[in-house]
A and B are shown apart, each in its own frame.
Chain A
């Protein structure tokens, strides 16, 4: 019996290519729909840059170069120019804000969930009034810190930046001003400037748009568009509820985001009261997830891997694949995990970048929904623990913020938790952590491609079977092609456009449009996963606690190797990078 089951899982060497796949298979529909969104984004944003963009960029760059040439530390003018440059974003233009309103998800709340969808003018005014005294105090503190910084900088300038003590004092005062500014611009400003909103009409609008968008392909894939539309609303509603729960202040702070609530909510419903049959046609997990992954591909911008120089590449791109491979081997040889797909999904999720890596890897190796759920659930739980434990330990032992930031960036799974943990180390620590994490994020393109090829060529085969190149092509999950193509196209565009690319592509097409669509597609996919998963299947995969052992052992190795590599790179091989970042 076991042999028969195993045989059923093995792909026999008889694949063939049919041109009709281009419009019958969801992999190809994911590519067409994903690229339709990306092309629409380019058509909307590229002709509408912010006013005087080139002049503003050139001015900011000239100021930074001038200031860097005359002072050995980042001056007030340097920071102001840097802020001006990073504040230049196509998505801040009025047309982009309108798009953002239509694609927005429910907002944050603390005690009343309705505030996630609707905030009256009176309630907004009350919140503003309540936050105003603390905000004004913070503004005053920033102003005073700036005056002190200015005084210290002028003293250093009077000595032509030759007096090391004065330079040190100026640098410290400027950093204190930055800290005060950071505090002023955090939650205080958000509360003091809150405006009334009503997100309900926009949510109904985006629900209709996404439903029509995905129903285009259903007809060709043999799914009734009418049935798809009937069931879609339930999934969309579950996704909105999950978003509301994930945006509760406490949940946000712990990093328990909406995706896990979509899964848990769906599982809770399907495993207790059950779901009606009309919903089945709308549970198109793969259709949603693959379209989202093609959009995610566009955000894999290879130019960003050099953001922190070679040191970052070693920390993120050498340790990560090493830990991935060793953890996978450990799972197979030592733990003897039954499911290879669960093994690789948990390994990738643990050492690359959590949820996003789990989604991409699970889709590339054809993992079961329950396996993806286990990987995502464990990632969120351990991320919450590490987000608190790691920065507490780093500060307690007095670790250097660059080393601590790199360690956090290379080991904590999700970006939000990395930034949150990094915030505890101060501005430089947070920036290093966020940058290392971003470099690591870029890696999932390679990992997903590698896993897809390895599974086609080695795993999905009968023992001893030699797979031809054409057979690999037949078996290959085609949406990965769209994922890689989107990455190559957008990486090339960004490289070609230089600083303008940051404004128009990264801070325009991607963060202002395609990412917002992708967020919706993933939450719909996770709601579908929850609604079609069952507890028994999950319990079966948890037998012996092997996934937890795998995660804990892999993460321990990851923590050790990342710390050693970060120390070697930032303090022995490239100490100049650390010095520049700290002064």
Chain B
């Protein structure tokens, strides 16, 4: 284990008294996540500056969450178009 150093202080279950507070924290976190996915972010999608870009993303069926070029179909298609255009002209 020489990289991404382990943090030995975690991974231990808290005592029962603190466990209740822990469950509350977990549920609060999950509620926040639910609100983000179904209330806050969908509402933001309707705002004037955000809506046009989001519309274009939905129409072209792009997964904006991909983080590397091989995960996106469009990189292969785009590269092929660019290369063939430059090669043939």
Contacts and interface: CB of A to CB of B under 8 A. Distances in A.
A391 B50 CA distance: 11
Contact of B65 (A269, A275, A416, A531): A416
B81 to A, nearest CB: 5
A256 interface: yes
B50 A423 contact: no
A276 B12 CA distance: 6
Contacts of A388: 49-50, 53-54
Given A277-B12, A421-B53, A258 B65 contact: yes
Interface string A83-114: 00110000000000000000000000000000
Given A245-B33, A255-B64, A368 B84 contact: no
Contact of B58 (A64, A187, A437): A187
A389 B12 CA distance: 43
Contacts of A68: 88-89
Contacts of A392: 49, 52-53
B68 A296 contact: yes
Nearest to B32: A268
Given A272-B26, A372-B4, A438 B79 contact: yes
A245 B37 contact: yes
Given A255-B64, A270-B11, A438-B69, A366 B75 contact: no
A463 to B, nearest CB: 22
Contact of B14 (A274, A389, A417): A274
A277 B41 CA distance: 36
B42 A256 contact: no
Interface string A179-196: 000110111001000000
Contacts, number: 272
B7 A533 contact: yes
B68 A431 contact: no
Given A253-B57, A441-B68, A534 B75 contact: no
A82 B64 contact: no
A187 B53 contact: no
B17 to A, nearest CB: 13
Contact of A182 (B42, B60, B82, B85): B60
Contact of B88 (A64, A257, A391): A64
Nearest to A427: B81
A581 B22 CA distance: 57
A274 B23 CA distance: 9
B12 to A, nearest CB: 6
B2 A415 contact: no
Interface string B1-34: 1111111011111100001011111100110010
A420 B37 CA distance: 19
B66 A414 contact: yes
Interface of A: 26-27, 64-65, 67-68, 74, 78, 82, 85-86, 182-183, 185-187, 190, 245-246, 248, 250-259, 264, 268-277, 279-280, 283, 285-286, 289-290, 296, 299, 304, 307-309, 353-356, 362-370, 372, 384, 387-389, 391-392, 414-417, 419-424, 430-435, 437-438, 441, 477, 502, 506-507, 510-511, 515, 519, 529, 531-534, 537, 577, 580-581
Given A78-B88, A502-B80, 11 more contacts: A187-B59, A253-B64, A254-B64, A353-B68, A392-B52, A415-B72, A415-B75, A419-B72, A423-B60, A438-B78, A580-B86
